[in-house]
Amino acid sequence: MFPSARPHIMRLARFLRRVAAPVSCLPPGGRGKLLCQHLPLDPRGPSFRQVSSVPAAMEDVLSKSVPPLPPYETKEKSPPPPEPQSLHFMHYYRSLEKGQRVALLGQLAADYGVDHSQVAELSSKLVQAQQSRDPGTVLQVEDRLRYYLTPQYKVLFSHISRMEGGMKFLVDIRSDIVEGVTARVADAPHLREMNGILKCMLSEWFSVGFLNLERITWQSPCEVLQKISEYEAVHPVRNWTDMKRRVGPYRRCFTFTHNAMPGEPLIVLHVALMQNILGNIQAIVKEIPPSEVEDGNKVKSAIFYSISLTQQGLQGVELGNYLIKRVVKELQAEFSQISEFSSLSPIPGFTKWLLGAFNSQTKELGRTELLLESECEEISDITGIPAVDTLKRLFTSNEWMKSERLVKVLEAPLMRLCSWYLYGEKHRGFALNPVANFHLQNGAVMWRLNWMADTSPRGAVASCGMMVNYRYFLEDTSVNSARYLRGKHIEASEQVLNLVSQFRKNSKL
């Protein structure tokens, strides 16, 4: 099949499928618009309206918007597609509801991907060239094959990226793809492939050389401060006074920006400048007197207490690692005496994992072996009901933190269980907890687990109030990162390893 004829044949096939639509789609008398244009909303909710309501319009937009892949011989001489075509696609896409957008992307991925017949033909020629042992021919066929492995929709994305507002549009498109695949709204292989290809394109466009480091202060534009406040995902900003504190004395806020997305912070890092490494978030986000003047001589430690990716479409694009490295250099230049760099990180997912382990054991054994018998008895004495039932109820809120006796008796078992969750629970050999995995990949050390570090309702529900410091020993980060990525080795402090040892001795999973 000639590449130029493929789109026409595909459109003809889709037209024949529509002509063969069931009679039930037609109104009484067989005239007028198809009833499938007025189907009820998808049961998953109003945001996922069936895309079949306007298939002809979508197909028409795609056929006019997606430029063909130029022939290999003229790939460097082919003119770009007319700009109005891409603009029309962008306007049409923005007019759709969320579910329709995912369906349109699925259709784009399936109908305008790689020409498989061309790839198969070139693969056969490559095998023949290898058998003839002609290096020149092999390299030539490989280059041609590499070119024809380019999906047709990639040409559209490349052209959009060069248009005003195009980069933000593509980031938003990938956000819709990620959400659709995650929610299994469109769990199709073509859409997953598109997700990977667009991620690779964005990784090139948002590489560290194209990013600008900006410090956010109270004098920054109001619109930027508003976005920083809205994007904060770790410790929500309560009001403008709270925001002013987070960019005020003994605090730093940095973002990466991109020239193609002006005014849009891509990732935000909040830093607390302290005399030592703190293990309690309330001590960092508490009110600082406005009259306090920053004394640089008091700054000995830099604590990264919040890092938030603001664009879902940039998930998987390496930004956080580069941001921390750039911020470290900025802080060293400003405060030469800083000797300690550490995070104070949340532990999302711990409570969920813990309750799952409790439920699994009680279902199989009728009891839990995660706690010592003496610990269960003490908990029961305080609450008056069996320990397992108590824990299932307690960890859905922070009410238990109001009891000094419960706080004291739960410290030992929860600390050793949390240390195991961070150190011992794995996904494909790497740390199961995503925050741990992020910092360990960067070369940090799992340094200190902190009890009653976040007593807010959010912290209690997520991790029973615990937080962890990941310490950055700058001279060792490269070695630690390589050992983790290659050998899945977690560098941990004596405190963490002791807690893990206690878990292995006293708890059973």
pLDDT value of residue 507: 86
Residue 345 a catalytic site member: yes
Contacts of residue 333, defined as CB under 8 A and 6 or more positions apart, other chains included, come to: none
* Domain coverage including residue 279: 209-343
Q: CA-to-CA distance for 407 and 385, rounded, in angstroms?
A: 17
Do 56 and 110 sit in the same domain of this protein? yes
At residue 258, the pLDDT reads 96
Who has greater pLDDT, 17 or 406? 406
Look at residue 144 and tell me if it is in a domain. Answer: no
- Antiparallel, parallel or unpaired: β 426-427 and 211-215: unpaired
* Whether residue 248 has pLDDT greater than 80: yes
Let me know whether 31 and 158 are in one domain: yes
pLDDT of residue 477: 96
Mean pLDDT of 377-398: 85
The reply to whether 201 and 216 lie within a common domain is: no
Least confident window among 31-40, 156-165, 351-360: 31-40
If one compares 233 and 325, the residue with the highest pLDDT of the two is 325
pLDDT given for residue 287 in this prediction:
61
Residues 252 and 167 in one domain: no
Q: Does residue 143 form part of some domain? A: no
CA distance 425 to 352: 13
Question: pLDDT value at position 291?
Answer: 58
At 325-382, the pLDDT tens digits run 999 999 999 999 999 999 999 999 999 999 999 888 877 777 788 999 999 999 999 9
Q: DSSP string of 41-60? A: PPTT-GGG--GGGSHHHHHH
pLDDT (mean) for 234-242: 90
Of 343, 367, 386, the last residue of a domain is: 343
Catalytic option among 270, 342, 439, 463: 439
Backbone torsions φ then ψ of 230, nearest 5 degrees: -70, -35
Please check whether residues 382 and 480 belong to one and the same domain.
yes
Active-site residue identified among 86, 306, 342, 345: 345
pLDDT at 289: 57
**Residue 308: CATH number of its domain:** 3.40.630.150
Helical (H) or strand (E) element with 269: strand 267-274
Average pLDDT for residues 497-504, to the nearest whole number?
97
Lowest pLDDT segment from 13-27, 293-307, 375-389, 446-460: 13-27
* 313 belongs to a structural domain: yes
Greater confidence (293 vs 97) lies with 97
Q: What digits encode the pLDDT tens for the residues 419-453? A: 999 999 999 999 999 999 999 999 999 999 999 99
Q: How many CB atoms lie within 10 A of CB 220?
A: 15
For 117-135, what is the mean pLDDT? 89
Q: Are 197 and 90 within one domain?
A: yes
pLDDT at 288 (0 to 100) = 60
Q: Indicate if 335 and 289 belong to the same structural domain.
A: yes
Cα–Cα distance for residue pair 77/222, rounded to 1 Å = 46
Q: Does the residue 136 lie in any domain?
A: no
386 and 499 co-located in one domain:
yes
Does residue 8 have a pLDDT over 60?
no
- Reported as a pLDDT band with limits 50, 70 and 90, residue 244 is very high
* 439 labelled catalytic: yes
Residues 201, 213 within the same domain: no
pLDDT > 70: percent of the chain: 87
Choose one of 325, 343, 361: the last residue of a domain: 343
Q: Please say if the pLDDT value at position 6 is more than 50.
A: no
| Residue 290 confidence (pLDDT) | 58
Same domain for 338 and 445?
A: no
* Residue 125 maps to a domain: no
Report yes or no on 392 lying in a domain.
Answer: yes
Same domain, 296 and 377: no
Q: Are residues 328 and 381 in the same domain?
A: no
Q: Is residue 129 part of a domain?
A: no
Which residue, of 343, 361, 390, is where some domain finishes? 343
- For residue 82, what is the domain's CATH number? 1.20.140.90
Residue 399's pLDDT is 85
C-beta contacts of 500-505 below 8 A and 24+ residues apart: 500/416, 500/419, 500/420, 500/423, 500/424, 502/412, 502/416, 502/419, 503/416, 503/417, 503/419, 503/420, 503/424, 504/420
Domain contains 145: no
Number of independent structural domains in the chain:
3
Mean pLDDT over the full length of the chain = 86
pLDDT band at 24 (very low <50, low <70, confident <90, very high): very low
Cβ neighbours for 345, distance < 8 A, ≥ 6 positions apart: 435, 436, 439, 467, 468, 469, 470
Q: For residue 55, what pLDDT band results from cuts at 50, 70 and 90?
A: low
Average pLDDT (82-91) is 93
